[in-house]
């Protein structure tokens, strides 16, 4: 079983005389900076010149500096900008770091795939909340916390684990539980989960179901409700009580259908495809392709996002969501090519 740590395992004394630089003020950055500050940690925020986020961070009572200057002031430097640019940011601050400054991450990509090579004498840890940033902040304010993963990559001082745990507790995650992992395990499972199940898997499943019904002559509106809208109800039940609770809650007919049909759709060849994805993640092939895509200005991703936004499931979804005024329908900014 995994080792889990709580507030009583953490000693905030390990952050007492330290300054933490939070680089980036997006989803995770705003939550880390504010939670740590509210926990009594000395925090500075590092942002690029003319960052649109600087006024927001200042309005939250935080000191903001250009990225290099924030890093130069810090004993612990937390990287909270998109993963594919962390290597470039590290290069730009490397010679400004204090001797033996600790590097910290909320996801293992940069270390696992070597876009950041930490100085030999640096401590390197990860605290990765298993939740979007706004929830990390909101739960903290409500006196609760979200679970997090912790990993140690380099412990040169002998204190790295204690500092990481103190950081996790200051973030509020010790209230929920901090599970020990490694950079490799966190990175590889995170990438696999989003590709095979959470993002890639679920969206293709919804589209394939929708297309099958529409091609057979059913109305797109009905297909949308059955294959996408109702996913939320099912996922909420799985979230609250696992597969058993969802199956207990749906009709016996739905349960019987689940039993005889699921493994015909997600079958041997789907499982083989999952193994191939995992193998590309483990070998670094996926990371290489993603880094190349960024270097060449994201041509494939831009085209794909545009094409996908025009899929009939999206068109009918927009119309149907306008019939559900209790829900605030969301739309990404025009010409979205992904964050970052």
Residue 53 binds which of ligand NDP, Mg ion, none (CB < 5-8 A, kind-dependent): ligand NDP
DSSP H or E segment with residue 191: helix 183-192
d(C-alpha 137, C-alpha 252), whole Å: 40
Residue span 101-130 as binding mask against ligand NDP, x where in contact by CB under 6 A, dash where not: -----xx--------------------xx-
Q: Output the smallest distance, CB 133 to ligand NDP, in A.
A: 5
Residue 13 binds which of Mg ion, ligand NDP, none (CB < 5-8 A, kind-dependent): none
Pairing outcome for strands 42-47 and 19-23: parallel
Would you count residue 47 as binding ligand NDP (CB under 6 A)?
Answer: yes
Q: Which stretch binds ligand NDP (CB under 6 A): 80-88, 114-122, 168-176, 261-269?
A: 80-88
**C-alpha closest to that of 166 among 3, 30, 14:** 14
Q: What is the Rg, in whole angstroms, of the alpha carbon atoms belonging to the chain?
A: 22
State yes or no: is 84 an active-site residue: no
Q: Out of 84, 107, 268, 295, pick the active-site residue.
A: 107
d(C-alpha 66, C-alpha 46), whole Å: 5
Q: Which stretch binds ligand NDP (CB under 6 A): 47-55, 113-121, 208-216, 257-265?
A: 47-55
Instruction: Give the start-end residues of each E strand in 167-283.
Output: 178-180
DSSP H or E segment with residue 103: strand 102-105
Q: Is 51 annotated as a binding residue?
A: yes
Q: Do 73 and 44 meet the contact criterion of CB atoms below 8 Å apart?
A: yes
Would you count residue 186 as binding Mg ion (CB under 5 A)?
Answer: no
Binding residues for Mg ion, how many (CB under 5 A)?
Answer: 1
Binding residues for ligand NDP, how many (CB under 6 A)?
Answer: 25
Q: Is 27 annotated as a binding residue?
A: yes
Would you count residue 169 as binding ligand NDP (CB under 6 A)?
Answer: no
Q: Is 162 annotated as a binding residue?
A: no
Q: Is 194 annotated as a binding residue?
A: yes
Residue 339 binds which of Mg ion, ligand NDP, none (CB < 5-8 A, kind-dependent): ligand NDP
Residue span 263-292 as binding mask against ligand NDP, x where in contact by CB under 6 A, dash where not: ------------------------------
Q: Is 226 annotated as a binding residue?
A: yes
* CA 69 to chain centroid: 27
DSSP H or E segment with residue 9: none
66 or 209, CB closer to ligand NDP? Answer: 66
Q: Is 53 annotated as a binding residue?
A: yes
Would you count residue 29 as binding ligand NDP (CB under 6 A)?
Answer: yes
d(C-alpha 230, C-alpha 253), whole Å: 16
**CB burial of residue 292 (10 Å; 0-12, 13-18, 19+):** exposed
d(C-alpha 141, C-alpha 323), whole Å: 34
178: phi > 0 → left, psi -120 to 50 → alpha, else beta; which? beta
Q: Output the smallest distance, CB 231 to Mg ion, in A.
A: 18
d(C-alpha 44, C-alpha 40), whole Å: 13
Site for Mg ion in 47-106 (CB under 5 A): none
Please list the active-site residues.
107
Residues forming contacts to Mg ion in the complex (CB under 5 A) are: 190
**Binding annotation for NADP(+):** 25-28, 48, 51, 53, 133
């Amino acid at each position: 079983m995994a080792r889990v740590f709580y507030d009583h395992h953490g000693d905030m004394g390990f952050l007492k005389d330290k300054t933490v630089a939070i680089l980036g003020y997006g989803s995770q950055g705003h939550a880390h900076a504010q939670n740590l500050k509210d926990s009594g940690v000395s925090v500075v925020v590092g942002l690029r010149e003319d960052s649109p986020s600087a006024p927001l961070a200042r309005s939250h009572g935080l000191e903001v500096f250009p990225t290099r200057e924030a890093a130069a002031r810090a004993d612990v430097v937390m990287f909270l900008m998109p993963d594919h640019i962390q290597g470039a940011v590290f290069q730009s601050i490397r010679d400004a770091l204090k001797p033996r400054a600790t590097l910290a991450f909320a996801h293992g990509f940069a270390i696992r795939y070597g876009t950041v090579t930490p100085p030999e004498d640096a401590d390197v840890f990860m605290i990765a909340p298993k939740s979007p940033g706004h929830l990390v902040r909101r739960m903290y304010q409500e006196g609760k916390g979200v679970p997090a993963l912790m990993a140690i990559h380099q412990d040169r001082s002998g204190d790295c684990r204690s500092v990481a745990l103190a950081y996790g507790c200051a973030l509020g995650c010790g209230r929920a539980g901090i599970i020990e992992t490694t950079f490799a395990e966190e990175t590889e499972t995170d990438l696999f989960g989003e590709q095979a199940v959470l993002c890639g898997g679920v969206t293709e499943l919804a589209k394939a179901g929708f297309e099958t019904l529409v091609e057979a002559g059913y109305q797109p509106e009905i297909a949308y409700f059955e294959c996408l809208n109702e996913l939320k109800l099912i996922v909420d039940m799985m979230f609250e009580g696992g597969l058993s609770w969802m199956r207990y809650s749906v009709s016996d007919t739905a349960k019987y259908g689940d039993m005889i049909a699921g493994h015909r759709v997600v079958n041997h060849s789907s499982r083989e495809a999952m193994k191939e994805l995992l193998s590309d993640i483990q070998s670094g092939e996926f990371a290489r392709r993603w880094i190349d895509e960024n270097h060449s200005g994201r041509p494939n991703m831009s085209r794909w996002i545009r094409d996908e936004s025009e899929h009939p499931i999206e068109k009918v979804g927009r119309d149907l969501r306008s019939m559900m005024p209790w829900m605030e329908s969301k739309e990404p900014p025009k010409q979205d090519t992904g964050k970052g």
